[in-house]
Amino acid sequence: GGLGAALPAMTQTPLEIVEQLNAPVLGLYGGADQGIPLEQIEKLREALKKSSSQKARQSQIHIYEGMPHGFNADYRPSYRKEAAADGWKRMLAWLKKNGVA
């Protein structure tokens, strides 16, 4: 799990392509997501901050403490209404800020 590729033939992961980004990234992660360890999220955050890509440095990572994988998926048992609503608001603001919405 995590932000690293499990098999060599898999698509590159976010951590592996930070220097290639030509658009900022918004990451909304569940802090209790067992598939993406917190240390991987922090590695990504640091790589984005230190990137030579200006767009990568404009990225934002938000961790929802205690939230499981799929906390924003209303069809799953892991759905958490308040965190999902906050994530939705952050995403809409992000899209507007970056000229997408």
Quote the distance between the C-alpha of residue 40 and its chain's center. 11
Q: How far, in Å, CA of 83 to CA of 31, rounded?
A: 11
User: What pTM was computed for the model?
Assistant: 0.83
pLDDT in tens, 56-80: 999 999 999 999 999 999 999 999 9
Compute, in degrees rounded to 10, the torsion defined by CA atoms 34, 35, 40, 44: -130
pLDDT of residue 7: 57
90 phi and psi angles, rounded to 5 deg: -60, -40
Q: Among all chains, which residue has been given the structure tokens 């308040």?
A: 82
Gyration radius (Cα) of the chain, Å: 14
pLDDT of residue 5: 56
DSSP 20: G
pLDDT in tens, 2-55: 665 555 656 778 889 999 999 999 999 999 999 999 999 999 999 999 999 999
